[in-house]
Each structure stands twice: as C-alpha cells, then as structure tokens.
Amino acid sequence: MHRRLSLFFNTPLRPFTTAISLLHHFQHRPYYPPFSTTTHHRLLSFTPHHHRRPPPDPNDPSTLLKEDGVSLCCHMWIDNFRHPDRVLTNLSTFLRRFELWVLAFQKVSTDETGAYTPRSAIQRSQLEDLLALRNAVLDGKFKWGARLKFFIKSPKDKIDYDSLSKRKIRVVLTTTQPAPFQDKIVQEVLLMILEPIYEARFSQKSYAFRPGRTPHTALRVIRRSFAGYLWYVKGDLSSLLDGMKVGLLINALMRDVRDKLIVDLLKSALVTPVVTTRVDDREKKKKKSRKYQKKRVLAEDEPKPDPYWLDTFFGFAPEEAEKVPDFGHCGILSPLLANICFDELDRWMEGKIKEFYVPSKSDVIWNSKEGEVEQGNTSWPEFVPTSGPDKTRKMDYIRYGGHILIGVRGPRADAATLRKQLIDFCDQRFMIKLDNESLPIEHITKGIMFLDHVLCRRVVYPTLRYTATGGKIISEKGVGTLLSVTASLKQCIKQFRKLSFLKGDRDPDPQPCFRMFHATQAHTNAQMNKFLSTMVEWYRYADNRKKIVNFCSYIIRGSLAKLYAAKYKLRSRAKVYKIGSRNLSRPLKERKGQSPEYQNLLRMGLAESIDGLQYTRMSLIPEADYTPFPSNWIPDHEKSLLEYIKLEDPKTLEEQQDFIKEHGLVSPQDYVSMLVWNYKKNALPMDQLSLLKNNESITGNQHLLLDSNQDDHDHISKEEENDGRMNAAEM
C-alpha cells in the first residue's frame, strides 16, 4: 500500500499523512456521503494511471518542428544586429534546429523543380531522410561531393544507383557532375546561419553579393559621393578569387565565428577536391558513331527552357559582376566567404579615408571636421562649385566584388602614396603581388570605366538664387562641375557581339538571331520585349539612357527583321517593315485570298495576339532617373531591423517621455485617459448632491460642480417665474 500511494503522489517518504489528508478531504466534501471503511480500503489499495507525457522521440521529425523556420531566421537577424561586435562560439544550437533544415529543403527543391513546395506537402520519408542528413552533419559523418551514396536525393532524381553498371559508375565518379542535392541543403543551412552574422558586420563600402545592394546602388553612390574628385585609382583584385588559399578564408572566418563544428564543416568543403575530369575521347567517338540518339523528353512539371532568353539574360552582365567566386564545394557560400575575406580591406580603407581627410575653412562644400556634414544645394548634391580655393583633401572608396574604385581630391602624389600603401597591404594580408599597372591612376577628364559606365566631369553654369539680408532675392550665374555617369556604347556593342546580334565595331550591322527561327512571331516578339525591358532597367541611371536604349532597340529590331525576311522569304528588311509595320506587330505569314483578315481571326480566338516591339521611337524611351540619393543610405531591411531594435529598447520609451515632458506636450494616450478620467469624476448623478454637501472631504472640482448645478437650478426657476407672469398677463 505504501508503494502504491508513493507512486500516485510521487512522495515515497510520506504515504500515511497523505492518505489521512485525502480521507479528510473526501469526508468533508459537500453532496457526498461519508465513506465507509471498505471504500477507504479500496481507495488506499487503488493504483492510479500516470498522466506524464513521454519524452519526445529524437528520431521523430514531427516532434522536432516546434517553430516556423522563417520566424527563427528573423530572430537570428534581429539578435545579430542587436549585438554586432560579439564573438560567436556556440552556433551548433542553430545547426541542430530542424526547422532550418526543412526551410532549406523547401528552397533547394523549389530551385530544382521550379515549383514551391509547402511544408505540409513534404512527405514523411523525405523528412526522415532530411533528419538523417542533419544527424550525419552533427556527428561528422557527412562528406562533400558524394556521387553514389546520398542521405537524401532530389525529387527529380529517379536513378537507382545500386543497379548501375560498372561503366556508368565509372562515368559518374570520374566526370564533372552537378552539385549533389544534399550538398545544396547543407550550404543553404550554413548560409542562413552565417549571413545575418556578417551582414551586421560588413562595411557599407561593399556592394556585391549582398542582399539589398545591386550595381545600380553602386552607381548611385558614385554619382552622389564621388563628385569633385580629380584622381581615380581603379583596381582589379579578381585574381585573389581564383587562387584563394584555405588558410586566409579560415582565419578571416574565425575572427568572428569560433564554433568548431561550423569551422570544420567549411574547412572540409574547401579542402575536398572537386572532380572536373572530362569524358574520354573514346567515349566521344562511341557517342558520335551511333546512328540514332534518343532525344530527352521533358516531364510535365519540368519548366520548359528557353535557351535564347536565358543566354541573353545571364550573358548580358557588366564585367565586374560577370565573375562570381566559387570555392570548392561551398557553392552559394562562396560569395559570402569572398566578402568576409575582403572585409579587412574595406576596414583598412575606411581608416585611410579618415586619415586622409584634411578640411579647409575656405572650402565651399567640405569644411566640417568630421567630413559628413556638407553644405551647398541639398536638392542637387552632385554639383560641386568651383568658386573659392580648392584646398580640402578628401578621399572615398567603393568595392564591387573584386573590383575597387578610389577617388582622391588633392594632388596626384597623394594618390601615388595611397597606391603604394595598398600594394603593401595586399602583399602582407592576401599574399598577392600587385604593381602600378594593375592599379592605374587616371584623371577624371579621360573617363573612368566602372560597371560598364563611364565616369566623366561636366562643366555646368547654373543660376544660383539665394535670399540676402533684408529679404531680397539675388540671382547669380555660377560655375561648377557635375559628375556625369554615361553608359559605354563600346561595352554595349561588345555584349551584343557575344550574343551574335551584330558584327563590326565602327558601323555595327545587325545579324539575324537564328536561335528563334522555329518560334512563332508572337513568342519571338515577347522574348525580345523582355530583353529590351531588361536593357531599359539596366541603363536606368545613365545620362545617355535614351541614346543607348535607342541603339539597343535598333539592333534588336534589325535582327528580327532579317530573321523574318529569311523565315518568310521576304528578301529584304524593307518588305518586312512594310508588311509587319515598324514595330513588327502585324502577322507576316498572311496572304491575300488564302485566309480571313487577321483582326477577324483574333476576334474569334483563332490567332495569337502579337505584341509589337517596344521603344521603337525615341519619344517612347523614359528619361534617366535623377532621384536624389541619401548620403548615409542603408537597405530597407537593415533600416527596419534597426528601427525594430530601437523600439524594443526601454531607453527609447524613456527618452520619448522625457522629451514630451520638457516641451510640455501631451501624448494621444494621455489625452484620451484624461478625457475618460474627467468624465468619470465629474459626471455624477443628481440624487447624490445632498450626500456630497454633507461630506467634508470635497475636492475643488466637486465644489465647482455643485456651484454650477445650483446656478443652473436658480436660472431654471427664474425662467419658470417669468413664463408664469407672461401667461397671467395674457389671461
């Protein structure tokens, strides 16, 4: 009996006192008769059932999904931006969170299949395989670049690797293969853990491979901050991305992250060799000797590729953004690791900017001590007036990937000294040998090429208006320089030549794009409109936007005209324009007497609508975007994070309350509470007036209330007496 009671109450040392208290409780309980001795005996001899929940099974995926993966990522971003300078030593806890692995699986499977996979649609077998992959990573059993044995396979991979022949196994092991599906999942999880850590630490001078920053952002920063600089140092450090040493990356990583599991996982990804052997010549001969080759048939759910559009979209990129770093088996982690390595250079350059800055009081723009507060026309910050002595020494720096641009305002000797210091720094830190040819110093008058745009100086003579003492408005003719950012026509022709759109340099001649030969006219025009829209957006901030887009439209329209002339046997472009109009919106295969009118077919739904080419005239091309760019710009997501962290800080609320008190203001919440309190305090029933009169502890507001009520009563009685006298007089 003692053992059974101890199991029930979980107190093995006090069975007797517990049983007596239980009996006393049931005997004094209302609506129940007193228990008999047999009932007491049954109660004491009863062994109840335990209600404890069993511990969660570590091998059950459903019990490990406690939180949404997106909310977990949000907490990581907020926490890292709240404490950006701490050294992290325990990141394995995030690596154990199964929610991140499920989110990574959703992202990678979406990239593989082209369709979004919701969390509820993931099969249990896939979750178990994903859990096995996570456990292998935590236990150190995961190996990068596996070819035959996988913990989890792609939904598109239907190959049974156990039943492959020896020849196919040898081909799989010795030839270049795409990255395994499980490697991409591990890379995605590591990216979700490491990206918020380093985005809170990266310099504001880098703009490549970072969320919220694009080449357009870099061009707008150059137009905003590089006005007035005379000498430019342009450098190409892309060679560092080709032969990046593992020790440099690991040392740069361990400055902020010192978790052994994360560091070892990244080190193994960098050290594990990548198999890039090509197919043997014998295999090629065997394939060529076959008479019939079976064509690959696309699945129904597989996205249909458009090779011309994909090649056009991804091939038309500036030289600085064309090269993406790729280190070992790191995959999507490679750009982040490159920025981690280059962040030391960014910090060093920020220190040099502060050392180089020497203000001058006689300068018109830069004359403050910090160099942040600027004077002049705030609505046109790119304008730098030339009136007044030019004595301020100032420098600025920007980096996009492995390409750097330094602007110097001062003598050329300062730029040469800075170049020498930069060469020594790269030799010591990155162990790369640079010379003066790799870091040329150029004057602004020669034009500086960066991101397929040319930076040059333009002299302008604006009319400056200001209000003098006495309120008189004075207008004066000023002289100044403006930094002009124009698109490079030479680079545009070079990109078009890559895509086989034209031939020739001085007098480019459009060539027919035969890749779209078997496509319909409507589909071809739609793809070319996408390409033109991409070009219009890319040259959005170029001063010669209209001119460069008009050139692109001319090349594409001429290329399509030659294609249609060859396809429909129309002999010349002039005949194509005559039948299809200037924008090629009319059908070209229609002939008189053989088919109804195109408009009738279109109205009946028997013909496909053909969209004409866009931007065929100069008036249809939009102007360049000259929206002012703020000096201390940060992306929208970082701004939201910082505002959220500031609002969560209790000091922010105290500062706001102190500010309201100092200025004698009332917050809306306090104003509403005052109205409610005054209503409750003053709106009293009239039958309690006698009680309030006899009460000695009456407040001043209650005295006023009584006096006001008595005055109203006297006023009402006087009005009644006057009404009675008027009635008597009338009678």
* For residues 543-559, average pLDDT: 93
* For residues 497-501, average pLDDT: 84
Assigned token pair, 498 = 């890559």
Residue 378 is predicted with a pLDDT of 44
Instruction: Mention every residue, 6+ apart, whose C-beta is less than 8 A from residue 18.
Output: 5, 9, 11
* For residues 350-374, average pLDDT: 71
* For residues 459-471, average pLDDT: 72
Short-list 28, 181, 219, CA closest to 105: 181
Instruction: 426-431: list long-range contacts, CB under 8 Å, 24+ apart.
Output: 426/237, 426/345, 429/344, 429/345, 430/237, 430/240, 430/248, 430/341, 430/345, 431/245, 431/248
Contact 129, 151 (CB under 8 A): yes
Residue 683 is predicted with a pLDDT of 66
* For residues 540-549, average pLDDT: 93
Q: State yes or no: pLDDT of 698 exceeds 50.
A: no
Q: State yes or no: pLDDT of 380 exceeds 70.
A: no
* For residues 354-382, average pLDDT: 62
Going by pLDDT thresholds of 50, 70 and 90, the confidence category of residue 500 is: confident
Q: What is the DSSP letter of 393?
A: B
Going by pLDDT thresholds of 50, 70 and 90, the confidence category of residue 367 is: low
User: Ramachandran region of residue 269, left (φ > 0), alpha (ψ -120 to 50) or beta?
Assistant: alpha
Spatial separation of the C-alpha atoms in residues 512 and 555, rounded to whole Å:
10
Spatial separation of the C-alpha atoms in residues 143 and 138, rounded to whole Å:
12
- The pTM (predicted TM-score) of the whole model is 0.76
Going by pLDDT thresholds of 50, 70 and 90, the confidence category of residue 32 is: very low
Instruction: Mention every residue, 6+ apart, whose C-beta is less than 8 A from residue 34.
Output: 27
Q: State yes or no: pLDDT of 311 exceeds 80.
A: no
Of residues 47 and 695, more confidently modeled: 695
* For residues 353-363, average pLDDT: 80
Question: In residues, how long is the chain?
Answer: 731
Q: Which residues of 546-565 are buried (b: 16+ CB within 10 A; e: fewer)?
A: bebbbbbbebbbbbbbbbbb
CA 479 to chain centre: 41
Mean pLDDT, rounded, of the chain: 77
Q: State yes or no: pLDDT of 688 exceeds 50.
A: no
Instruction: Mention every residue, 6+ apart, whose C-beta is less than 8 A from residue 333.
Output: 187, 190, 191, 194, 266, 269, 327
Residue 170 is predicted with a pLDDT of 85
* For residues 9-24, average pLDDT: 37
Q: State yes or no: pLDDT of 176 exceeds 60.
A: yes
Provide the residue ranges of all domains of the chain, joining segments of one domain with +: 69-195, 202-276+306-363+379-487, 499-620, 649-687
Burial of 434 (0-12, 13-18, 19+ CB in 10 A): buried
Residue 709 is predicted with a pLDDT of 45
Tell me how far apart the terminal alpha carbons of the chain are, to the nearest angstrom: 104
Q: State yes or no: pLDDT of 237 exceeds 60.
A: yes
Contact 203, 350 (CB under 8 A): yes
Residue 382 is predicted with a pLDDT of 53
Instruction: Mention every residue, 6+ apart, whose C-beta is less than 8 A from residue 644.
Output: 78
Spatial separation of the C-alpha atoms in residues 221 and 538, rounded to whole Å:
16
Short-list 149, 134, 148, CA closest to 188: 134
Burial of 407 (0-12, 13-18, 19+ CB in 10 A): buried
Assigned token pair, 55 = 């511990």
* For residues 509-536, average pLDDT: 86
| Residue 328: Cβ within 10 Å count | 22
Residue 296 is predicted with a pLDDT of 57
Q: State yes or no: pLDDT of 275 exceeds 70.
A: yes
Going by pLDDT thresholds of 50, 70 and 90, the confidence category of residue 348 is: very high
Residue 537 φ then ψ, to 5°: -70, -35
3-class secondary-structure state, position 127: helix
Going by pLDDT thresholds of 50, 70 and 90, the confidence category of residue 1 is: very low
Residue 510 φ then ψ, to 5°: -65, 145
Spatial separation of the C-alpha atoms in residues 402 and 339, rounded to whole Å:
9
Residue 449 is predicted with a pLDDT of 92
Assigned token pair, 718 = 């006087």
Spatial separation of the C-alpha atoms in residues 366 and 499, rounded to whole Å:
46
Q: State yes or no: pLDDT of 360 exceeds 80.
A: no
Q: State yes or no: pLDDT of 16 exceeds 60.
A: no
For strand 448-450 and strand 453-460, is the pairing parallel, antiparallel, or unpaired?
A: antiparallel
Q: What's the pLDDT tens digit per position in 554-588?
A: 999 999 999 999 988 888 889 989 888 888 888 88
Q: What's the pLDDT tens digit per position in 127-143?
A: 999 999 999 999 989 99
Of residues 375 and 634, more confidently modeled: 634
Contact 210, 339 (CB under 8 A): yes
Residue 192 is predicted with a pLDDT of 95
Instruction: Mention every residue, 6+ apart, whose C-beta is less than 8 A from residue 338.
Output: 209, 241, 244, 325, 327, 401, 402
**Sheet with 448-450: strands ordered across:** 383-385, 480-487, 453-460, 448-450
Short-list 333, 209, 332, CA closest to 262: 333
Instruction: Mention every residue, 6+ apart, whose C-beta is less than 8 A from residue 287.
Output: 293
Short-list 239, 437, 417, 429, CA closest to 346: 429
Of residues 507 and 255, more confidently modeled: 255
Residue 52 is predicted with a pLDDT of 59
Q: What is the DSSP letter of 474?
A: E
Instruction: Mention every residue, 6+ apart, whose C-beta is less than 8 A from residue 3.
Output: 12
Q: State yes or no: pLDDT of 253 exceeds 80.
A: yes
Q: State yes or no: pLDDT of 725 exceeds 80.
A: no
* For residues 683-702, average pLDDT: 46
Enclosing H/E stretch for 481: strand 480-487
What percent of the chain lies above the pLDDT cut of 70?
A: 72
Spatial separation of the C-alpha atoms in residues 406 and 409, rounded to whole Å:
10
What percent of the chain lies above the pLDDT cut of 90?
A: 32
Residue 680 is predicted with a pLDDT of 81
Burial of 149 (0-12, 13-18, 19+ CB in 10 A): exposed
Spatial separation of the C-alpha atoms in residues 656 and 643, rounded to whole Å:
14
Going by pLDDT thresholds of 50, 70 and 90, the confidence category of residue 590 is: low
Of residues 280 and 264, more confidently modeled: 264
Residue 13 is predicted with a pLDDT of 38
**Where is average pLDDT lowest: 128-142, 208-222, 298-312, 438-452?**
298-312
Assigned token pair, 132 = 């096995």
Residue 309 is predicted with a pLDDT of 53
Q: State yes or no: pLDDT of 599 exceeds 80.
A: no
Spatial separation of the C-alpha atoms in residues 624 and 543, rounded to whole Å:
6
Tokens 């207008």 locate to: 475
What is the chain's alpha carbon radius of gyration, rounded to the nearest angstrom? 39
Residue 607 is predicted with a pLDDT of 59
- According to DSSP, the residues that pair with 406 across neighbouring strands are 233, 397
Spatial separation of the C-alpha atoms in residues 553 and 533, rounded to whole Å:
10
* For residues 252-277, average pLDDT: 90
Assigned token pair, 29 = 């309980």
* For residues 361-382, average pLDDT: 55
Q: Which residues of 87-113 are buried (b: 16+ CB within 10 A; e: fewer)?
A: ebeebeebbebbbbbbbbbbbbbeeeb
Q: State yes or no: pLDDT of 441 exceeds 90.
A: yes
* For residues 19-30, average pLDDT: 38
Residue 295 is predicted with a pLDDT of 54
Residue 561 is predicted with a pLDDT of 92
In degrees, to the nearest 5, what angle opens at C-alpha 199 toward C-alphas 197 and 204? 145
Contact 409, 402 (CB under 8 A): no
Spatial separation of the C-alpha atoms in residues 592 and 596, rounded to whole Å:
8
